[in-house]
Structure 1
């Protein structure tokens, strides 16, 4: 399940865009200005950002530049500023797309779909973290010379943690990302899958570990 970040100081726009995206099955995070968005991204990895330009504290141009320095994610600037100079500044800041207010809801949705698809194709199918290699297309996991074909949920959990190394995720967050919002089990499911992954790799992996952060959740840490 993909997570979209909405950054806009207009509460109505945040609510409108959040509703549109949630109907499409996305998880949605929201912030009222750029500085708040950067704080949110430290603990909540997102797959795409919809960013307004005119905001207090940190505007959309500055936020776009900062996201480009720190994260690999597509950005849509959503703004009332339609002059060619404004668009030029937006693209120079690093935005991937530009949509003018007022906008057609369907247009925002198909632009989100298109950017996520494009980034998904461009980001490659491989993850390399020390001795750990993950091929997301073939569902193959290698550690040094040993190859594993994991059960699907174990593979998805490992891949998500490895995509965000050294980030701490709560059990609830992992349930939502891997099992979905309609999952009827409890958070012990995460513990069981983490235990299985540790048991598989304990004797052969010495440069990464899945660490328990007491009272919070789990983090894949590179040693």
Structure 2
């Protein structure tokens, strides 16, 4: 697993109480933390601090979180978790379209935020993780190898990336469109049914005949449920 002290987190929020709460909590977990009280200060801080993770509030004076998100994504590799007091689908879609990697509505659980930070690190900075154990899965990104119940799975390169993405995001429903974007890439010109083909193959290799491990959520996508 990664060492938290190697991870730099920038929190951008105009609520001092939120900044203090998150800063203390994440520092106690071992992370390096920097805070900013508005969008402009946050962008300037990001240029010097080069954070791995940015926790970004949407509603701020000056430039809002959406504009900050767009600017940060143009700077390079950074994982952005957006915070909002709203829970509207349109707001989430707008943030994700601009490049946000995750979305949480206030109020939120600190433990859930930690879990989402862990997922972002595993997904976007695998070189900092190396090997990780998630339930019955052991993922070795250096060897591009996944073990399930101590058994090495025989996977193609795409099957490896797909299964890793599903497992790292276990418990979260992932749509076919999202899976295509994250595994195949935005420029993939194929059809969404390619996801079904690969899911079927993974279920066979995992001996998941009853679809209890990789569940189909009708009308929404797929979700990995760990035992």
Pair 74,48 (structure 1): closer, same or farther in 2 beyond 3 Å:
farther
Cα RMSD, aligned residues only = 4.2
CA distance in 2, matches of 1:74, 1:143: 24
Is 1:19 aligned to residue 62 of structure 2?
no
Counterpart selection for 2:142 from 137, 143, 150 = 137
- Cα pair distance change 1:180/1:28, threshold 3 Å: farther
- Unpaired stretches in structure 1, ≥5 consecutive residues: 52-56, 76-112
Give the equivalent residue in structure 2 for 1:10. Answer: 60
Deviation at 1:168, TM superposition (A): 0.9
Residue matched to 1:165: 170
State yes or no: 1:192 paired with 2:208: no
- Measured in 1, the distance between the counterparts of 2:155 and 2:68 equals 37
Q: Deviations over 1:13-57 (max 9, x none)?
A: 323212223434778674433x759xx7xxx9x7688x9xxxxx9
CA distance in 2, matches of 1:150, 1:71: 30
Any conservation in 2 of the 1:10–1:32 contact (CA below 8 Å)? no
Partner Cα separation in structure 2 for residue 120 and residue 67 of structure 1: 25
1-side partners of 2:78 and 2:217: how far apart?
27
TM-score computed with the length of structure 2 as normaliser = 0.55
Displacement of 1:158 after TM fit?
A: 0.6
Structure 2: runs of 5 or more not aligned: 1-51
Quote the residue 2:114 is aligned against: 71
TM-score, with normalisation over the residues of structure 1?
Answer: 0.56
By how many angstroms is 1:128 displaced?
3.1
Alignment counterpart, residue 32 of structure 1, candidates 80, 84, 90: 84
